Amino acid sequence: MSFIKVVTDSTAQLEPELAQQLGVTVVPLEIAFGAQKFREGVDITPDEFFRRVAHSRTMPTATAPTVEEFRQLYGTLSQSTDKILSLHVSGKLNETCDNARSAASHFLGRCEIVVIDSWTISLGLSILVQAAARAAMQDTALDEVVRIVRGMIPHIYAVFFSDTLEYLERDGHLSESQSLLGTMLNIKPFLVIEEGEILPMEKVRTRDKSIDKLVEFVSEFSHIELAAVVQSPSRASRDARLLLDRLQSNFAEYELDSITYGPTLGTHIGPHSLGLIVYEGTD
């Protein structure tokens, strides 16, 4: 029983068909609008999430899978394998990794379970999960798959601009005074995910300046293996298209895609954000 089973969570936004093809088990986070609760990627899609945000007075929250949910999953998987790699959203954003580690501790001596904090989310996590799953399908040793994934983590970058500052204030990424002043002056924070934490780095005043900043960010890389514009449906028409056009014009050598970010990320950066996720590759 040496074949590695790979587990991730719904923040990776893996399409069900791809997850099945790669043999990846996806554990959903719970998205709540007050008393209404939905399983991310099961009961609610990104488009449905953003429609609810637009018409709800309640700010949504995301809750990690419980320790018991992980225990049940690991117990089921351990019937067909003795090696599990569980790769999850940044532990700075919610308790998914902590709960996975607590559950894994119950299987010591019975099943080797390695839980890895990806320090990222969305496409960044998806890139890591796909790499791990493909390595596992080639009968790569668990230690080597872990080495591959850990080597990739520092080479994944995520940056965003957000119009809706109350989400950042609620999660402690901005103080109340910073949020109030930013809203009054129409200042948009330039956010970066650094060592798994969302941090405000710079400020700009217009969407066009935001797009300039994102293009400038890409120009800092000498090599990019994969990059995608990350958008919400409310910004899909003009800003995302303009950013994608600018990037394709200036960096024709790179293959660029566009994705809608998921509900969990939406609970952190709000419904009107635009950004980039870049994987520069490893040597």
Whole-angstrom distance, CA of residue 75 vs CA of residue 110: 10
Whole-angstrom distance, CA of residue 247 vs CA of residue 241: 10
* C-alpha dihedral (203, 207, 213, 216), degrees to nearest 10: 180
| Whether 240 and 134 share a structural domain | no
| Whether 169 and 100 share a structural domain | no
| Whether 170 and 203 share a structural domain | yes
Compute the average pLDDT of residues 153-174.
78
pLDDT computed for residue 237 by the predictor: 67
Using CB atoms within 10 Å of the CB of residue 63, give its burial: 0 to 12 exposed, 13 to 18 middle, 19+ buried: middle
| Whether 32 and 146 share a structural domain | yes
For the domain that residue 62 is a member of, what is the CATH number?
A: 3.40.50.10170
Q: How confident is the model at residue 82 (pLDDT cuts 50, 70, 90)?
A: very high
Compute the average pLDDT of residues 261-268.
94
pLDDT computed for residue 1 by the predictor: 47
| Whether 81 and 202 share a structural domain | no
pLDDT computed for residue 235 by the predictor: 58
The mean pLDDT value of the chain amounts to: 89
| Whether 187 and 220 share a structural domain | yes
Range of the domain at 219: 155-279
- What digits encode the pLDDT tens for the residues 28-37? 999 999 999 9
Q: How confident is the model at residue 232 (pLDDT cuts 50, 70, 90)?
A: confident
Number of domains composing the chain: 2
pTM listed for this prediction: 0.92
Cross-sheet strand order for the sheet of 36-39:
36-39, 30-33, 61-63
Report the percentage of the chain scoring pLDDT > 70: 89
pLDDT computed for residue 172 by the predictor: 59
Task: Please identify, among 105, 130, 153, the residue that sits at the C-terminal boundary of a domain.
Answer: 153
| Whether 92 and 149 share a structural domain | yes
- What digits encode the pLDDT tens for the residues 17-27? 999 999 999 99
pLDDT computed for residue 234 by the predictor: 62
pLDDT computed for residue 252 by the predictor: 82
| Whether 116 and 101 share a structural domain | yes
Task: Please identify, among 153, 178, 193, the residue that sits at the C-terminal boundary of a domain.
Answer: 153
Q: Which of 50-59, 200-209, 238-247 has the lowest mean pLDDT?
A: 200-209
Compute the average pLDDT of residues 53-64.
92
For the domain that residue 167 is a member of, what is the CATH number?
A: 3.30.1180.10
Compute the average pLDDT of residues 255-264.
90
Residue 177 has pLDDT above 70, yes or no: no
pLDDT computed for residue 173 by the predictor: 55
| Whether 168 and 111 share a structural domain | no
Compute the average pLDDT of residues 83-100.
97
| Whether 108 and 13 share a structural domain | yes
Q: Which of 89-103, 190-204, 264-278 has the lowest mean pLDDT?
A: 190-204
pLDDT computed for residue 43 by the predictor: 94
| Whether 146 and 249 share a structural domain | no
Task: Please identify, among 101, 122, 153, the residue that sits at the C-terminal boundary of a domain.
Answer: 153
Using CB atoms within 10 Å of the CB of residue 196, give its burial: 0 to 12 exposed, 13 to 18 middle, 19+ buried: middle
| Whether 44 and 121 share a structural domain | yes
Q: How far is CA 96 from CA 102, 104, 121, in A?
A: 10, 12, 12
